[in-house]
Chains A and B, each alone.
Chain A
Amino acid sequence: DAGITQSPRYKITETGRQVTLMCHQTWSHSYMFWYRQDLGHGLRLIYYSAAADITDKGEVPDGYVVSRSKTENFPLTLESATRSQTSVYFCASRRVGGAGELFFGEGSRLTVL
């Protein structure tokens, strides 16, 4: 089915490990986004991408790396996970032009021990 999917949905890792969260969309949307949401807080923008090979920092980019070699994929990597990165991560996409609403994935819940 067309849509935006995230994997894994749940991940437990240890401090210092590298973790990659995957985001895949089938709409060929140009724009993709990564947000994190901590308990009791709203969504905070980590990184976003306007197209393949074009990325830019959001509100809280430190400790994260992104890449976008293909339009449909936007992986988020924690190169050395820390406990403060325990969070729920949401990926989103939107099309070019018009008002363009964001479409969100179901989220990836990451726990760093």
Chain B
Amino acid sequence: DAKTTQPPSMDCAEGRAANLPCNHSTISGNEYVYWYRQIHSQGPQYIIHGLKNNETNEMASLIITEDRKSSTLILPHATLRDTAVYYCIVRVGSGTYKYIFGTGTRLKVLA
């Protein structure tokens, strides 16, 4: 089953880029990588997803390695409001829709 591994916590200075790594070494060839974040106790919020190529939207950039075994979420100019838990997830098994979140990375943006 495809699963992800993330560091439990990271700090980042305000205004600097936050780079959050994720390992998904068992990902299948046609599976997307998704990133979500959860602020306080709110429902998780979608950030970005990707398959093979790097992706960018108004919130973040996603860099996926060529072998697709890992990826990095980049918040280019972190603000205090980016303090949250960030989850990297993939679907578990083909033909199912089991999205397993794990414990994520708690990002703290420091003033």
Main secondary structure of the interface of A (DSSP, over half): strand
Q: Pick the 7 closest A-B CB pairs, nearest first.
A: A104-B43, A42-B103, A101-B46, A43-B101, A99-B32, A42-B101, A99-B49
Give me 10 other A-B pairs in contact (C-beta within 8 A), A45-B98, A58-B98, A101-B46 excluded: A42-B103, A44-B101, A48-B97, A50-B97, A56-B98, A94-B97, A99-B32, A99-B49, A101-B49, A104-B44
Q: How many A-B residue pairs have CB under 8 A?
A: 56
A112 at the interface (CB under 8 A from B): no
Kindly report which residue of chain A lies nearest to residue B46, judged by CB atoms. Answer: A101
Q: Which residues of B pack against A, CB within 8 Å?
A: 32, 34, 36, 41-46, 49, 51, 85, 87, 96-104
Main secondary structure of the interface of B (DSSP, over half): loop
B28 to chain A, nearest CB (A): 14
